[in-house]
Amino acid sequence: MNDAPYLIQNFTPVDLSELADKIKSLNADGYRLGQICGTPVEQGIELLYSLDKDFSLVNLKLSVPLDATIPSITETYWAAFIYENEIHDLFGLKFADSKLDYQGNFFKLSRPTPWKPQISPEGGD
């Protein structure tokens, strides 16, 4: 086991318009992509981008509406295509300019976008 100190992990809120630039900046500073995670929240989907450098995580957190189009980060981190396609298939979010887009066919699912929140016509859940 490595004896390196583990730092407190921070969650940094970012705006959708800032995402691509922040990802490119972290890449230039030597961070590697750890994961991208999506989860339903009241206002749509929350995305968490986790990047690692020297046992320290940077977590970029943003909430987007269900009809949002997210800028792909596959130009910076090729492996992001896996996470982006998974989030597309499970939640229905679209990613613009992905370097490998399965067009909703990354997984074979029993029903389309099974984790996409269902919004009632009255605006509630």
Give the tens place of pLDDT for each residue, 4-37: 555 566 899 999 999 999 999 999 999 999 999 9
| Model pLDDT, residue 108 | 76
Whether 104 is in a domain gets the answer no
Whether 83 is in a domain gets the answer yes
> 32 lies in which domain range?
10-96
Whether 15 is in a domain gets the answer yes
Whichever domain contains 76, its CATH number is 3.30.460.80
Spatial CA neighbour of 68 closest among 42, 92, 38, 37: 92
Decide: pTM greater than 0.85: no
Whether 40 is in a domain gets the answer yes
Whether 26 is in a domain gets the answer yes
User: pLDDT band at 2, cuts 50/70/90?
Assistant: low
Whether 122 is in a domain gets the answer no
| Model pLDDT, residue 32 | 97
Going by C-beta distance under 8 Å and a sequence separation of 6 or more, which residues neighbour residue 43?
63, 65
Going by C-beta distance under 8 Å and a sequence separation of 6 or more, which residues neighbour residue 2?
55
Number of domains in the chain: 1
Whether 60 is in a domain gets the answer yes
| Model pLDDT, residue 35 | 97
Whether 45 is in a domain gets the answer yes
